[in-house]
Amino acid sequence: MAYTANPDRYNNMNYAPCGHSGLQLPRVALGFWQNFGTNTDPATIKDLCFTAMDCGITYFDLANNYGPEPGSAERNLGKLLRTDLKPYRDELIISTKAGHPMWPGPYGNWGSRKHLFASLDQSLERLGLDYVDIFYHHRMDPNTPLEETVDALCDIVKQGKALYIGLSKYDAAHLEQASRMLEERHCPFVVCQNRYNMLDRTIETNGTKDTIYKKEKGLVAFSPLARGALSGRYLNGIPNASYAARNHDFAKSLTDDRLAQLSCLNAVAAERGQTLAQMALSWVLRDNVVTSVLIGASTPEQIRENAAVASQSHHFSDVEVFSIDDILDLPHTL
């Protein structure tokens, strides 16, 4: 069945600028990560994408290594773009990334000019596109000079292969340096992507979030539900078909103390009239530096639940903020 746009799909989706850029992103975005590879039925992928569009989600976030297998998430979205979503290309924000291992040898990884150009060319071929809206360098490179990475990103924009540049998982110091270089070259660097959720506040303590704010960039938060810990799925233990049931390391993180914390957080969410997942997303979105949150989903129902947060209040009273911090045994933050 071909996709037919619902004219009301944008009504409940708020948009926010990336810093002072003209780029507007929906507050909730769909991440094409582990549920869009070769191990997922194509009909399911189509159902998830159509549901996202119907909910007003128009930002699809990918990377060259997403799958499994690497490259398959881009190929699967590329098929949908050709068969169903091509008429809506100008309404979509499509991003991809390069910087993690993709092929053997010194050019299949990190941030060299060779890797970035080759990776993006391969991504565009898989997607069937002439350009992506945002191209991210996926992680800092400890060996390639930052100037080389920055120059390559600028030239990618000049060649029309990407409209905007993003940096993913950069720390405060490297973000400061890269931002200055990109600004000097008049390159449209507008957005950063970092892990951020109630359980992982590293970007608050290491200065990265402050740097993003200072440099007037947008923050797209990945893992806002802490790999599903904040999804509400584990309030009554570990279901057999869950991610925790398949991932031993993640399951070990769901200690009795953590499960008790999740139960208390769920009670706070209920008082707000939200599910635990919705409160977790609202908690991230309450900060003005956050432009969008990336959700992963395995069912249309999860997308609808998460997308609904865009029309809900992102305001937290001081009492709610302190209660969440006390539950998690963290210093009070506002």
What CA–CA distances, in Å, run from 216 to 27, 180, 235? 17, 12, 38
- pLDDT tens digits, 292-327: 999 999 899 999 999 999 999 999 999 999 999 999
To 10 degrees, what angle do helices 300-307 and 276-285 make? 50
Tell me what pLDDT residue 334 has: 67
Residue 129 forms part of a structural domain: yes
Model confidence band, residue 47 (pLDDT cutoffs 50, 70, 90): very high
Helix (H/G/I), strand (E/B), else coil: 222: strand
pLDDT of 7 reads 81
Picking from 78, 151, 87, the residue whose alpha carbon sits closest to that of residue 114 is 151
Quick check: 119 pLDDT over 80?
yes
pLDDT at 10: 82
CA 309 – CA 286 distance, rounded (Å): 11
Q: 23: domain CATH number?
A: 3.20.20.100
Higher pLDDT, 130 or 19: 130
In a domain, 246, yes or no: no
Residue 266 lies in a domain: no
Q: Report the distance separating Cα 180 and Cα 59, nearest Å.
A: 27
0.75 exceeded by the pTM? yes
pLDDT value of position 253: 84
The answer to whether 45 and 36 have CB atoms below 8 angstroms apart is yes
Specify the 3-state DSSP secondary structure of 17. Answer: strand
Confidence of residue 332 (pLDDT cuts 50, 70, 90): confident
> What is the structure's pLDDT at 9?
84
Would you state the pLDDT for residue 290? 97
Burial group, residue 271, by CB count within 10 angstroms (0-12, 13-18, 19+):
exposed
Mean pLDDT of 70-85: 96
- Domain residues for the domain of 159 are 15-227+285-311
Q: Which residues of 162-172 are buried (b: 16+ CB within 10 A; e: fewer)?
A: bbbbbbbbbeb
Q: Which residue has the higher pLDDT, 39 or 257?
A: 257
Distance, in Å, from the CA atom of 63 to the CA atom of 319, rounded to the nearest integer, reads 39
- More confident site: 233 or 246: 233
Residue (of 155, 153, 181, 89) closest to 127 by Cα position: 89
Q: Which residues contact 242 (CB under 8 A, 6 or more apart)?
A: 228, 233, 234
Burial class (CB in 10 A: 0-12, 13-18, 19+), 274: buried
Higher-pLDDT residue of 242, 211 = 211
In a domain, 65, yes or no: yes
Closest CA to 165 of 143, 193, 144, 142: 193
Question: What pLDDT score does 245 carry?
Answer: 67
The per-residue pLDDT for 39 is 85
> How confident is the model over 61-86, as a mean pLDDT?
96
- What mean pLDDT is predicted for residues 243-268? 88
pLDDT at 236: 85
pLDDT at 237 (0 to 100)? 78
Which DSSP string do the residues of 145-190 spell out, in sequence order? Answer: -HHHHHHHHHHHHHTTSEEEEEEES--HHHHHHHHHHHHHTT--EE
Of residues 244 and 167, the one with the higher pLDDT is 167
> Domain count of the chain?
1
Report the range of poorest mean pLDDT among 17-21, 63-67, 205-209. Answer: 17-21
| Residue 128 lies inside a defined structural domain of this protein | yes
Task: Check whether 240 has a pLDDT greater than 80.
Answer: no
Q: How far lies 258's CA from each of 235, 248, 282, in Å?
A: 10, 16, 20
302 phi-psi bin (left φ>0, alpha ψ -120 to 50, beta other): alpha
Query: Is the pLDDT score of 249 beyond 90?
Result: no
Residue 328, pLDDT score: 97
230 near 197, Cβ under 8 Å? yes
Q: How far apart are the first and last CA of the chain?
A: 47
- CA–CA distance, 126 with 209 (Å, rounded to integer): 33
Q: What is the mean pLDDT of residues 148-157?
A: 98
Choice among 192-201, 234-243, 323-332 with the minimum mean pLDDT:
234-243
Q: What percent of the chain has pLDDT over 90?
A: 86
Residue 269: inside a domain: no
Element holding 213 (H helix, E strand): helix 208-214
pLDDT, mean over the chain: 94
Cis peptide before 125 (omega within 30 of 0): no
CA atoms within 13 A on the CB side of 109: 9
